[in-house]
């Protein structure tokens, strides 16, 4: 799997109480901005991560 969900997808899907696995390419600042602007979506999110050594850095 190359890339999974985006914040835009999460905003739409959370309206229907659907879950989104958000891709790992967002920065911490982007996550903070999304969380601050969309607190109602947070319970319907998961942050995806890779399995390679570089993904843990």
What pLDDT score was predicted for residue 42? 96
Is residue 54 included in any domain, yes or no?
Answer: no
What pLDDT score was predicted for residue 24? 86
The DSSP symbol for 45 reads E
What pLDDT score was predicted for residue 2? 64
Is residue 18 included in any domain, yes or no?
Answer: yes
pLDDT in tens, 1-57: 567 799 999 999 999 999 999 998 899 999 999 999 999 999 999 988 777 777 666
Q: Yes or no: say if 23 and 4 are a contact pair by the CB < 8 Å rule.
A: yes
Is residue 32 included in any domain, yes or no?
Answer: yes
Domain that holds residue 37: 7-48
Give the total number of structural domains in the chain: 1
User: Distance (Å, rounded) from C-alpha 26 to C-alpha 10?
Assistant: 13
What pLDDT score was predicted for residue 45? 94
Is residue 24 included in any domain, yes or no?
Answer: yes
pTM of the model: 0.80
């Amino acid at each position: 799997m190359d890339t999974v969900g985006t914040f835009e997808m999460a905003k739409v899907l959370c309206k229907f109480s659907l879950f989104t696995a958000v891709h790992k390419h967002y920065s911490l600042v982007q996550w903070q901005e999304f969380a601050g602007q969309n607190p109602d979506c947070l319970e319907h999110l998961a942050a995806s991560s890779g399995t390679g050594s570089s993904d843990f850095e």
